Structure 1
Amino acid sequence: MIIAFLFLLLYMPLINDSTESIKAEKSWYEDRLNSGIEAFYQTDWDRANRNFEQIKTRHPDDPTPYFFESMMPFLEYFFVDQSEQLASEFLKKSEIAVELSQQKLEETSTDTTMVLMLSGLYGYRGLVAAGQGEHRIALQSGLKGFNYTRQLLSIDSNRPDARIGKGMFYYMVGSVPSGMKWATNIFGLNAEIEDGFHELKIAAESDSYVSNDAKMMLMYLYQKEGRLEDALHYAEKLTKDLPDNVIFLYKKADILENLGNREAALNVYKAIINKNNPDLALITEKSRKKAAELEKTDINSR
């Protein structure tokens, strides 16, 4: 007992210092991560990357900064330019996040954060593969993502983050071309596109931090299905909450233009031009061309 007391007496200052150090590091990490995520959603990617690079330097095994870095080309691919280059960049960067997340999950099998991240990563990878016409790869990625989603559902079926993974997977299964339906039947999978929309809507209406991600997917998928009024509904919500996000503004303008509301679309394109986001020069250039086309059409129609 005396030895134990002496041990505490001698080492208590070290224990306290260690505890304070852990608290300080946790606070630093949360500040950097929150600042990086906030900048990411406002498409201030230079500031976001600076924060994420600092985290990677001090926590090289943390998949979170790699996840958000991979999401930058993902957003450009889905909402601006579905080029092979952007698809390749996303798949390459997301692979690092997948590997680190799987390592973390092997260390702690109950780490729901890693399960969620893997669910999202595989889901997004599946959507990119589908966008490139690689339906077999899309289905395989979607299935892997849904396996992780099922782990979340077994914990809490009402989790908004789990519903996003479920919604994305249901949409992909429902949108597989009829000639490929045999592949889904082999796995015993059966879902309709509307099942996917239903799950995503629940997540979008939640108070969770993932609600914007659900709105983003609804905006994209509704436009993909030609349901422009529904797509505009979510574009309006996103641009109201994230007014500096030029990617969402560009998509909103595109939807408005396709709906025939050229004046409103022109105003949004001009707003993007005025913002002149240095991290997304392609959007500014595309908006400038779109605005010029709309103004020319307006003049010719008089």
Structure 2
Amino acid sequence: QSIDELINSGLADIYNLNFPSAISKFKKIQTEYPNDIKGYFYESLVYFYEALGTRNEAIYEKYMDLSENLIDKCETILDKNENDLDAFYYKGQTHSYRSLLLLSLNKSLLKAASNGSDGYRILSDIIKRRPDYYDAYMGLGLYKIAIGYVPEKFKWLLNFIGFDGNLKEGYDLLLKSSQSGRYTKTDSKIALAFFSVQEREEKDQRTVQMLKEILNQFPESPIIKILYAGSLQLSGVIDETIPIIEDALIKNTGSMQNEIKKSGYALLGNAYFKKNDYVNAIKNLEEHLKYVVDEDRYNITMYNLGLAYELTGDRNKAIERYKKVRDKFINERDGEGEKMFYKFAQERISRPLSELDKLLVKGMNLRESGMYKESSDYYKNIISSNEMDKFNSNDEKIRIYMEA
């Protein structure tokens, strides 16, 4: 097999979560083509994805060691031939991946910025020399997006030392590599989709379409199914996601099984919650929490689980879950959502859901599921029925009229 065939086959194994097979193919490249840097780079990429998905410290350390050795190998090659663009590219791309992982796992901000800057400088130089080296655009895009996600209160530091991020520029760069890259087409599409999913305010159908195309290419991949279902839910599609997620859980026989279960059950719990099926929401959210680790962001899930118990009439169980919402946010740059839902949980502990709150949750779920007519009809039925008699204050009645 050629290097290209082995790389593409190994990348397909990564997307299908067959990491041992991918590593075997990349090690075969190292054995059969010992002077080619690609085998070492793609072996490290397996550990990058595993560390990103599992947040496992040992896997993170493994990736950092492999990537450090890879950078040394690239520098040895460049000492002999400074015009070796492949060695230059893999050095720059590795710095970009290190930057993204350091940011994602809440590690050193300075190290993340330093690696990102090194990667950006190297990859920028490559496309100046060869504008058609399209794989290089992926690393540039990852850097711009990763730095763009650093919260405002830390950006002064990045600006002070000369680093800047721009989400729009990052998306445009990833788009180039997704369309014309040699090895980065699928990776770039997944990165585009992942970061678009993070932007929860934007219900962009391009993300859904992009993930659907990747799923058609890798129909057995549980991780692509999970990402696709997540993007559908964010776009307001709920019912369609349930069989997709269930199929992902059935096909979850490879690497990162706990992570697929964790994500799958969270999405199922969210789907049933949006359907106002609180019994099944509880069942799946409880299953999700079995796979949660300390490093995870789980306050939203824990809070919604408390709501689900309260909406089924089990106030005691609801309080148990509200009390498990975590209050540790030490040195976390991405914990604003966690803090907000911690505050919500404290409010719920001190004050149970009112009848109005319960009605509003049901109506909101209909609306957020894209069922706008049903949501409107739901409120109109409340207004035209005896249920309005439950509410004595004008403020409560006004809230219902506003929702309708």
Task: Give the TM-score band, short-chain normalised.
Answer: 0.7 to 0.9
1: distance between equivalents of 2:56 and 2:236?
A: 26
Structure 1 equivalent of residue 28 of structure 2: 54
Deviations 1:198-241 (A, max 9, x none): 22223223364422121121112222232553343432232222
Structure 2 equivalent of residue 122 of structure 1: 95
Q: Which has the larger radius of gyration?
A: 2
**Quick one: which of 112, 121, 125 aligns to 1:147?**
121
Name stretches of at least 5 consecutive residues in structure 2 with no aligned partner. 281-404
Name the amino acid aligned to 2:225.
L
**SS in structure 1 at match of 2:211:** helix
- Structure 1 residues 228 and 102: CA distance shift in structure 2, 3 A: farther
Q: Do 1:130 and 1:138's aligned partners in 2 also have CA atoms closer than 8 Å?
A: yes
Higher relative contact order (Cα pairs below 8 Å, separated by 6+ residues): 1
Structure 2 equivalent of residue 12 of structure 1: none
- Structure 1 residues 42 and 102: CA distance shift in structure 2, 3 A: farther
2: distance between equivalents of 1:47 and 1:282?
A: 19
**Quick one: which of 78, 100, 104 aligns to 1:131?**
104
- Decide which structure has greater helix share: 1
Q: Do 2:127 and 2:133's aligned partners in 1 also have CA atoms closer than 8 Å?
A: yes
- Structure 1 residues 205 and 36: CA distance shift in structure 2, 3 A: closer
RMSD: 3.1
2: distance between equivalents of 1:112 and 1:72?
A: 23
* TM superposition score normalised by structure 2: 0.59
* TM superposition score normalised by structure 1: 0.76
Name the amino acid aligned to 2:137.
R
Q: Do 1:228 and 1:255's aligned partners in 2 also have CA atoms closer than 8 Å?
A: no
The alpha-carbon deviation at position 271 of structure 1 amounts to: 1.8
Name the amino acid aligned to 1:124.
Y
Q: Do 2:78 and 2:87's aligned partners in 1 also have CA atoms closer than 8 Å?
A: yes
1:269 paired to 2:245: yes
* 1:10-159 correspondence to structure 2 within 5 Å: 29=3, 31-60=5-34, 62-78=36-52, 80-133=53-106, 134-159=108-133
Q: Do 1:250 and 1:283's aligned partners in 2 also have CA atoms closer than 8 Å?
A: no
**Quick one: which of 174, 196, 207 aligns to 2:170?**
196
Name the amino acid aligned to 2:68.
E
- Structure 1 residues 217 and 289: CA distance shift in structure 2, 3 A: closer
How many residues end up aligned between the 2 structures?
Answer: 275
The alpha-carbon deviation at position 49 of structure 1 amounts to: 2.2
2: distance between equivalents of 1:104 and 1:210?
A: 23
Q: Do 2:148 and 2:164's aligned partners in 1 also have CA atoms closer than 8 Å?
A: yes
Name stretches of at least 5 consecutive residues in structure 1 with no aligned partner. 1-26
**Quick one: which of 241, 245, 251 aligns to 2:227?**
251
2: distance between equivalents of 1:109 and 1:259?
A: 48
